[in-house]
Structure 1
C-alpha cells in the first residue's frame, strides 16, 4: 500500500473524527450557512434533524473502515470506506451550494472527495 494512500486515509479519518466528535457543537469557519453547531448546520440545509445522527454514524463508520483498512487488507474495507465517504462528500458539497455558501466552505468536503476517489481507484 502506498504511503500517499495511507496518509489520505488518516487525513480523512482524523478530519471526520474532529468534526463529528470534537467540534460537533462548535462554530467553525467551514460550517454551512454560518451555523454554530452541527444540528444548526443541518437545519440551514433544510434537512430533517434525524439526518444528523444518520449521517454522523455513516461518516464515522466510513472513517473507521479507512483506518482499519490500513492494517487489514484482506477485505474491501478501503473501497467501501472511500466510496461511502465520497458519496457523503458529494452530498456535503451539494448542501453548501444549496445555501449559497462561498466556495471556501466547500473546500474540506471537496478535498475529502478527491482523496476518497484516489483511495477507491488505487
Structure 2
C-alpha cells in the first residue's frame, strides 16, 4: 500500500501542477460553464479574479508539498488534506452553477485519491 500511496502522491501532484502551471490558459472539457481559461472559470462561478490567484497559489504549493511528502512523510497529511479541501470546493462550484456531473469528474477523482493518501498513507 505504501508504494500505491506514493504513486497517488505523484499523480495528484503532477496533475495539479499541470492544470495550474501549464493548462491554465487552455480550454478543456472540464472547465466550469463555458469558460475557456481558469480566470474565466472563476468568473463563471461568481468569484473575484484575486481569489483565482489565491487558490492557484495554494494548489501549486500543496501539490509540491505532496510530492515532497514522498521523501518527507510529515508533509503528506497536511498537503493531501489541504488539496482535498480545495478539491471539494471545486466540486461544490460545479454544482453551484448546475454544471453536468461529468465536469466535476477530475476534481472528484483527485479528491478520492487525496482521501486514500490521507487515510492509508
TM-score normalised according to structure 1 size: 0.95
**1:6-50: per-residue Cα shift (whole Å, max 9, x none)?**
111111111111110111111000101120101000000000111
Q: What is the correspondence of 1:102-117 to structure 2 with a 5 Å cutoff?
A: 102-117=100-115
In structure 1, C-alpha distance between the alignment counterparts of 2:31 and 2:24, rounded to whole Å: 10
Where does the alignment leave 5 or more consecutive residues of structure 2 unmatched?
none
**1:70-81 alignment, distance < 5 Å:** 70-73=70-73, 76-81=74-79
Aligned length: 120
CA-atom RMSD in angstroms:
1.0
Residue in structure 2 matched with residue 42 of structure 1 by the alignment: 42
How far the C-alpha of 1:115 sits from its partner, in A, is 0.7
1:64 maps to 64
> Secondary structure at the residue paired with 1:90?
helix
Secondary structure of the structure 1 residue equivalent to 2:33: helix
CA distance in 1, matches of 2:106, 2:34: 15
- The Cα offsets for residues 62-93 of structure 1, whole Å up to 9 and x where unpaired, read as 101110010122xx210000000000011000
Mapped to 1, the partners of 2:12 and 2:103 lie a distance apart of 16
Once residues 61 and 83 of structure 2 are traced to their aligned partners in structure 1, the CA distance between those partners, rounded to angstroms, is 9
Equivalent in the alignment of 1:12: 12
Residue 119 of structure 1 is matched in structure 2 by: 117
Q: Deviation above 2 Å: which 4+ runs of structure 1?
A: none
Q: What's the counterpart of residue 86 of structure 1?
A: 84
Supply the distance in 2 between the matched residues of 1:90 and 1:115 (Cα, whole angstroms).
12
